[in-house]
Amino acid sequence: MLPIFLAPVVGIANVVPVMAVGMIFANGSRVAAFWRDIHAPHARRILLLGLPACVAGAYGYTLLEARWVALLLGTFFVVSVPVRRLLARAGWRLEARGVTLAGAGFGFVNGAVTGSGLLLISALMAAGLQGAALIGTDAIVSVIMGFAKIALFGSVARLDAELALAGVLIGLCTAPGGFVARRLLALVPLRVHTAFMDIVVLAGGAAFLWRAFA
């Protein structure tokens, strides 16, 4: 959701670098809230190939112009909803090797776009994780990849002090969300939450595509 509202403020080309900083705080709060529930073996499998792939994806992002960034983000958001639903309906199940390979695919996409957490969630769910273990494992992987993206963007001058500060402010505002999410997890029906998020993601994807072709 956040990238959709952030793009007009920082510019489309700066969305991923700024979000990389901000999500360190948001995901960090989830790590703190769900630390005991993290499934370390799956986290290691995802990061084995996912971390270098994330750096490669982030570097590829720095080579794109704003219009292509909007097209990439819009296409990703729109496609992610039916893909997630198809995978869930098919009862897709991942074994250990499959988790590692899925990590490579997710890492590359995560480096190039923001909001790709649905792919990681789908992969971890297909590997058998759910509830608190799912949230905690997703968070620790996202934090580690986030630091890798920040290092890459900083090294190629795509993340200056002003953008980094914007990311920090966004992160500080979202940091309490991890603890709030833990309380809400048992209160909001999963179908209602999923349907709402699908609508927001599709609307955001359409907005980015409109910007790409406007």
> pTM value?
0.73
CA dihedral 133, 138, 166, 204 (to 10 degrees): -110
> Is the residue at 93 inside a domain?
yes
> Is the residue at 77 inside a domain?
yes
pLDDT tens, residue order, the chain (214 aa): 566 667 767 777 788 888 888 889 888 888 988 899 999 999 999 999 999 999 998 898 888 777 887 787 788 778 877 877 787 777 667 788 889 998 998 899 888 877 677 678 777 877 888 778 888 999 999 999 999 999 998 887 778 888 888 888 888 877 676 666 666 666 767 677 667 767 877 887 888 788 788 7
Task: Please give the residue range of the domain that contains residue 87.
Answer: 12-213
> Is the residue at 102 inside a domain?
yes
> Is the residue at 5 inside a domain?
no
Domain count, the chain: 1
Task: Measure the CA–CA gap between 146 and 13, rounded to whole angstroms.
Answer: 17
> Is the residue at 3 inside a domain?
no
> Is the residue at 1 inside a domain?
no
> Is the residue at 62 inside a domain?
yes
Count of residues for the chain?
Answer: 214
